[in-house]
Amino acid sequence: MAIDAPTDLSARIEAALERALPPAETEPVTLHGAMRYAVLGGGKRMRPRLVHATGQTLGLALEQLDAPATAVELIHAYSLIHDDLPAMDDDALRRGQPTVHIAYDEAIAILAGDALQSLAFEVLAGDESAAAQPAICNARTLTLAKACGSRGMVGGQVLDMASEGKAIDQAALERLHQHKTGALLRACVRMAADTDPLLDADRRDALDRFAENIGLAFQVRDDVLDIESDTQTLGKTQGADIAHDKATYPALLGLDAARDYAMRLHDDALAALAVFASDADPLRAIAAEIVKRDH
Protein backbone atom coordinates (compact mmCIF):
# COMPACT_ATOMS: atom_id res chain seq x y z
CA MET A 1 0.00 0.00 0.00
CA ALA A 2 1.11 3.60 -0.51
CA ILE A 3 2.56 5.12 2.64
CA ASP A 4 2.05 8.81 3.28
CA ALA A 5 5.32 10.68 3.73
CA PRO A 6 5.87 11.66 7.39
CA THR A 7 5.49 15.37 6.55
CA ASP A 8 2.03 14.74 5.06
CA LEU A 9 1.02 12.89 8.18
CA SER A 10 2.41 15.61 10.44
CA ALA A 11 0.41 18.24 8.57
CA ARG A 12 -2.65 16.02 8.83
CA ILE A 13 -2.24 15.70 12.62
CA GLU A 14 -1.71 19.46 13.10
CA ALA A 15 -4.83 20.17 11.02
CA ALA A 16 -6.89 17.65 13.00
CA LEU A 17 -5.76 19.19 16.31
CA GLU A 18 -6.55 22.68 15.05
CA ARG A 19 -10.05 21.51 14.01
CA ALA A 20 -10.70 19.92 17.39
CA LEU A 21 -9.58 22.84 19.56
CA PRO A 22 -11.98 25.69 20.36
CA PRO A 23 -11.11 28.86 18.39
CA ALA A 24 -8.91 31.26 20.37
CA GLU A 25 -11.37 34.13 20.16
CA THR A 26 -14.30 32.18 21.66
CA GLU A 27 -15.29 32.45 25.33
CA PRO A 28 -13.81 31.61 27.74
CA VAL A 29 -10.92 33.18 25.84
CA THR A 30 -8.26 32.59 28.52
CA LEU A 31 -9.11 28.92 28.94
CA HIS A 32 -9.23 28.32 25.19
CA GLY A 33 -5.95 30.20 24.79
CA ALA A 34 -4.31 27.97 27.40
CA MET A 35 -5.63 24.80 25.76
CA ARG A 36 -4.31 25.88 22.38
CA TYR A 37 -0.98 26.97 23.88
CA ALA A 38 -0.51 23.52 25.43
CA VAL A 39 -1.46 21.51 22.35
CA LEU A 40 -0.17 23.58 19.45
CA GLY A 41 3.21 24.39 20.97
CA GLY A 42 5.17 21.61 19.31
CA GLY A 43 6.00 18.11 20.43
CA LYS A 44 6.97 15.05 18.46
CA ARG A 45 3.36 13.90 17.98
CA MET A 46 4.59 10.37 18.64
CA ARG A 47 1.21 9.14 19.88
CA PRO A 48 -0.96 10.29 16.94
CA ARG A 49 1.71 9.03 14.54
CA LEU A 50 1.51 5.64 16.24
CA VAL A 51 -2.26 5.58 15.71
CA HIS A 52 -1.93 6.40 12.01
CA ALA A 53 1.01 4.03 11.50
CA THR A 54 -0.93 1.15 13.06
CA GLY A 55 -3.85 2.00 10.80
CA GLN A 56 -1.54 1.90 7.78
CA THR A 57 -0.26 -1.48 8.93
CA LEU A 58 -3.85 -2.74 8.91
CA GLY A 59 -4.71 -1.12 5.57
CA LEU A 60 -7.24 1.27 7.13
CA ALA A 61 -8.06 4.69 5.69
CA LEU A 62 -6.36 7.56 7.51
CA GLU A 63 -9.75 9.31 7.87
CA GLN A 64 -10.83 6.51 10.19
CA LEU A 65 -7.91 7.25 12.49
CA ASP A 66 -7.94 11.03 12.76
CA ALA A 67 -10.28 11.05 15.78
CA PRO A 68 -8.31 8.59 17.96
CA ALA A 69 -5.03 10.24 16.85
CA THR A 70 -6.37 13.64 17.92
CA ALA A 71 -7.90 12.33 21.14
CA VAL A 72 -4.70 10.70 22.36
CA GLU A 73 -2.64 13.85 21.74
CA LEU A 74 -5.20 15.90 23.69
CA ILE A 75 -4.86 13.47 26.61
CA HIS A 76 -1.07 13.65 26.33
CA ALA A 77 -1.19 17.48 26.42
CA TYR A 78 -3.44 17.40 29.50
CA SER A 79 -1.06 14.99 31.27
CA LEU A 80 1.92 17.25 30.55
CA ILE A 81 0.12 20.36 31.88
CA HIS A 82 -0.80 18.58 35.12
CA ASP A 83 2.60 16.90 35.43
CA ASP A 84 4.30 20.33 35.27
CA LEU A 85 2.17 21.84 38.06
CA PRO A 86 3.76 22.91 41.37
CA ALA A 87 1.97 20.02 43.13
CA MET A 88 3.65 17.53 40.77
CA ASP A 89 7.00 18.13 39.05
CA ASP A 90 6.89 21.92 39.40
CA ASP A 91 8.50 22.60 36.03
CA ALA A 92 8.77 26.10 34.55
CA LEU A 93 9.68 25.03 31.01
CA ARG A 94 8.23 22.53 28.59
CA ARG A 95 9.41 22.20 24.99
CA GLY A 96 11.62 25.23 25.67
CA GLN A 97 8.64 27.45 26.50
CA PRO A 98 7.05 28.51 29.81
CA THR A 99 4.74 25.80 31.12
CA VAL A 100 1.02 26.54 31.11
CA HIS A 101 0.82 27.50 34.80
CA ILE A 102 3.66 29.99 34.24
CA ALA A 103 2.32 31.43 30.98
CA TYR A 104 -1.21 31.63 32.48
CA ASP A 105 -1.76 30.67 36.12
CA GLU A 106 -2.19 27.54 38.17
CA ALA A 107 -5.98 27.49 38.20
CA ILE A 108 -6.18 27.97 34.43
CA ALA A 109 -3.55 25.24 33.94
CA ILE A 110 -5.61 22.76 36.00
CA LEU A 111 -8.77 23.68 34.14
CA ALA A 112 -7.12 23.60 30.70
CA GLY A 113 -5.93 20.05 31.48
CA ASP A 114 -9.43 19.06 32.61
CA ALA A 115 -11.02 20.56 29.51
CA LEU A 116 -8.52 18.83 27.18
CA GLN A 117 -9.39 15.50 28.76
CA SER A 118 -13.10 16.08 28.15
CA LEU A 119 -12.42 17.29 24.62
CA ALA A 120 -10.53 14.07 23.85
CA PHE A 121 -13.64 12.00 24.58
CA GLU A 122 -15.86 14.47 22.74
CA VAL A 123 -13.67 13.99 19.65
CA LEU A 124 -13.79 10.19 19.96
CA ALA A 125 -17.52 10.01 20.57
CA GLY A 126 -18.28 12.53 17.84
CA ASP A 127 -16.21 10.89 15.10
CA GLU A 128 -18.40 11.05 12.02
CA SER A 129 -16.32 8.46 10.16
CA ALA A 130 -17.39 5.89 12.78
CA ALA A 131 -20.97 7.13 13.22
CA ALA A 132 -22.37 4.07 11.45
CA GLN A 133 -20.23 1.73 13.56
CA PRO A 134 -21.06 2.39 17.22
CA ALA A 135 -19.18 -0.77 18.29
CA ILE A 136 -15.94 0.74 17.00
CA CYS A 137 -16.68 4.04 18.74
CA ASN A 138 -17.40 2.26 22.03
CA ALA A 139 -14.33 0.05 21.84
CA ARG A 140 -11.99 2.99 21.23
CA THR A 141 -13.58 5.07 23.98
CA LEU A 142 -13.17 2.20 26.44
CA THR A 143 -9.55 1.66 25.38
CA LEU A 144 -8.64 5.32 25.90
CA ALA A 145 -10.59 5.69 29.15
CA LYS A 146 -8.89 2.64 30.67
CA ALA A 147 -5.46 3.79 29.52
CA CYS A 148 -5.64 7.22 31.09
CA GLY A 149 -7.44 6.45 34.37
CA SER A 150 -6.41 5.13 37.76
CA ARG A 151 -5.48 1.75 36.33
CA GLY A 152 -3.44 3.40 33.59
CA MET A 153 -1.60 6.72 33.28
CA VAL A 154 -2.93 8.46 36.40
CA GLY A 155 -2.29 5.32 38.47
CA GLY A 156 1.26 5.29 37.09
CA GLN A 157 1.77 8.89 38.16
CA VAL A 158 0.72 7.91 41.70
CA LEU A 159 3.16 4.97 41.67
CA ASP A 160 5.85 7.40 40.52
CA MET A 161 5.11 9.85 43.34
CA ALA A 162 5.04 7.04 45.89
CA SER A 163 8.43 5.75 44.71
CA GLU A 164 10.23 9.07 45.18
CA GLY A 165 13.28 8.77 47.42
CA LYS A 166 12.78 5.00 47.77
CA ALA A 167 14.85 2.18 46.35
CA ILE A 168 12.69 0.21 43.94
CA ASP A 169 13.66 -2.82 41.88
CA GLN A 170 13.40 -3.24 38.12
CA ALA A 171 10.04 -5.02 38.32
CA ALA A 172 8.53 -2.10 40.25
CA LEU A 173 10.08 0.42 37.84
CA GLU A 174 8.70 -1.53 34.90
CA ARG A 175 5.23 -1.56 36.47
CA LEU A 176 5.38 2.18 37.08
CA HIS A 177 6.29 2.96 33.47
CA GLN A 178 3.89 0.42 32.00
CA HIS A 179 1.18 2.52 33.63
CA LYS A 180 2.54 6.07 33.49
CA THR A 181 3.66 6.22 29.86
CA GLY A 182 3.16 2.70 28.48
CA ALA A 183 -0.61 2.61 28.89
CA LEU A 184 -1.21 5.59 26.61
CA LEU A 185 1.28 4.38 24.00
CA ARG A 186 -0.42 0.96 24.01
CA ALA A 187 -3.80 2.67 23.64
CA CYS A 188 -2.57 4.34 20.42
CA VAL A 189 -2.01 0.95 18.83
CA ARG A 190 -5.12 -0.60 20.37
CA MET A 191 -7.45 2.17 19.21
CA ALA A 192 -6.27 1.61 15.64
CA ALA A 193 -6.76 -2.15 16.17
CA ASP A 194 -10.26 -1.45 17.54
CA THR A 195 -11.02 0.33 14.25
CA ASP A 196 -10.50 -2.86 12.23
CA PRO A 197 -13.51 -5.17 12.71
CA LEU A 198 -11.75 -7.95 10.75
CA LEU A 199 -8.62 -8.08 12.89
CA ASP A 200 -7.85 -11.59 14.18
CA ALA A 201 -6.57 -12.34 17.70
CA ASP A 202 -3.04 -13.28 16.55
CA ARG A 203 -2.39 -9.99 14.80
CA ARG A 204 -4.06 -8.05 17.63
CA ASP A 205 -1.75 -9.76 20.16
CA ALA A 206 1.26 -9.08 17.93
CA LEU A 207 0.40 -5.36 17.85
CA ASP A 208 -0.06 -5.38 21.62
CA ARG A 209 3.37 -6.96 22.15
CA PHE A 210 4.89 -4.42 19.78
CA ALA A 211 3.28 -1.56 21.72
CA GLU A 212 4.33 -2.91 25.09
CA ASN A 213 7.97 -3.17 24.01
CA ILE A 214 8.19 0.24 22.37
CA GLY A 215 6.41 1.80 25.36
CA LEU A 216 9.16 0.59 27.68
CA ALA A 217 11.87 1.39 25.14
CA PHE A 218 10.51 4.96 25.01
CA GLN A 219 10.94 5.32 28.76
CA VAL A 220 14.37 3.69 28.93
CA ARG A 221 15.54 5.99 26.11
CA ASP A 222 14.06 8.95 28.00
CA ASP A 223 16.06 8.06 31.12
CA VAL A 224 19.25 7.65 29.05
CA LEU A 225 18.58 10.99 27.31
CA ASP A 226 18.37 12.73 30.68
CA ILE A 227 21.92 11.59 31.45
CA GLU A 228 23.18 12.36 27.92
CA SER A 229 21.78 15.89 28.03
CA ASP A 230 23.39 16.44 31.46
CA THR A 231 26.65 15.20 29.95
CA GLN A 232 26.43 17.80 27.20
CA THR A 233 25.45 20.55 29.59
CA LEU A 234 28.11 19.71 32.13
CA GLY A 235 30.77 18.84 29.56
CA LYS A 236 31.70 15.55 31.19
CA THR A 237 33.11 12.81 29.03
CA GLN A 238 31.81 9.78 30.88
CA GLY A 239 28.29 11.00 31.45
CA ALA A 240 26.93 13.08 34.26
CA ASP A 241 26.58 11.53 37.68
CA ILE A 242 23.57 9.29 37.69
CA ALA A 243 21.15 10.56 40.29
CA HIS A 244 20.18 7.76 42.66
CA ASP A 245 17.38 9.59 44.49
CA LYS A 246 15.09 8.86 41.55
CA ALA A 247 14.40 5.39 40.14
CA THR A 248 15.60 5.31 36.52
CA TYR A 249 16.99 2.60 34.28
CA PRO A 250 20.53 4.05 34.24
CA ALA A 251 20.43 4.28 38.06
CA LEU A 252 19.26 0.68 38.30
CA LEU A 253 21.23 -0.97 35.48
CA GLY A 254 24.07 1.46 34.65
CA LEU A 255 24.15 3.69 31.55
CA ASP A 256 25.53 1.18 29.02
CA ALA A 257 23.23 -1.60 30.18
CA ALA A 258 20.26 0.78 29.97
CA ARG A 259 21.22 1.61 26.36
CA ASP A 260 21.48 -2.11 25.57
CA TYR A 261 18.13 -2.74 27.22
CA ALA A 262 16.45 -0.10 25.01
CA MET A 263 17.88 -1.85 21.94
CA ARG A 264 16.69 -5.25 23.18
CA LEU A 265 13.18 -3.88 23.66
CA HIS A 266 13.34 -2.40 20.15
CA ASP A 267 14.37 -5.78 18.73
CA ASP A 268 11.56 -7.54 20.63
CA ALA A 269 9.11 -4.98 19.26
CA LEU A 270 10.27 -5.70 15.71
CA ALA A 271 10.06 -9.45 16.32
CA ALA A 272 6.42 -9.02 17.30
CA LEU A 273 5.78 -7.41 13.91
CA ALA A 274 7.08 -10.46 12.00
CA VAL A 275 3.49 -11.48 11.15
CA PHE A 276 3.14 -8.28 9.10
CA ALA A 277 4.84 -7.64 5.77
CA SER A 278 6.02 -4.24 4.57
CA ASP A 279 2.66 -2.71 5.55
CA ALA A 280 4.10 -2.46 9.07
CA ASP A 281 7.11 -0.39 7.93
CA PRO A 282 5.65 2.84 9.39
CA LEU A 283 5.57 1.11 12.80
CA ARG A 284 9.12 -0.18 12.31
CA ALA A 285 10.22 3.38 11.53
CA ILE A 286 8.64 4.70 14.73
CA ALA A 287 10.33 1.96 16.79
CA ALA A 288 13.70 2.99 15.33
CA GLU A 289 12.96 6.65 16.01
CA ILE A 290 12.13 5.89 19.65
CA VAL A 291 15.48 4.32 20.41
CA LYS A 292 17.50 6.79 18.35
CA ARG A 293 15.77 10.02 19.38
CA ASP A 294 17.87 12.79 20.89
CA HIS A 295 15.06 14.83 22.48
Closest to ligand GRG by CB, 50 vs 136, is 50
Residue 284: name the closest of 184, 213, 205, 202 by CA.
Answer: 213
**Interface mask (CB under 6 A) for ligand GRG, residues 158-197, using x and -?**
----------------------xx----------------
**Interface mask (CB under 6 A) for ligand GRG, residues 218-257, using x and -?**
----x-----------------------------------
Residues within window 60-99 making contact with ligand GRG, judged by CB under 6 A: 79-80, 82-83, 88, 95
Number of shown-chain residues binding ligand GRG (CB under 6 A): 15
Residues within window 195-224 making contact with ligand GRG, judged by CB under 6 A: 222
Would you count residue 56 as binding ligand GRG (CB under 6 A)? no
Residue 205 beta carbon to ligand GRG: minimum distance, rounded to whole angstroms: 25
Would you count residue 44 as binding ligand GRG (CB under 6 A)? yes
**Rounded-to-integer distance, Cα 278 and Cα 84, Å:** 39
Residue 290 beta carbon to ligand GRG: minimum distance, rounded to whole angstroms: 10
For residues 68 and 192, the answer to whether their CB atoms sit within 8 Å is: yes
Residues within window 90-149 making contact with ligand GRG, judged by CB under 6 A: 95
Residue 167: name the closest of 241, 226, 248, 223 by CA.
Answer: 248
**Rounded-to-integer distance, Cα 181 and Cα 234, Å:** 28
β partners of residue 94: 97
**Which residues, 6+ apart, have CB-to-CB distance to 269 below 8 Å?**
209, 210, 213, 214, 217, 287
Which DSSP category does 88 fall into? Answer: T
For residues 186 and 218, the answer to whether their CB atoms sit within 8 Å is: no
Distance from chain centroid for Cα 245 = 25
- Residues of this chain that interact with ligand GRG (CB under 6 A) are 43-44, 46, 79-80, 82-83, 88, 95, 153-154, 157, 180-181, 222
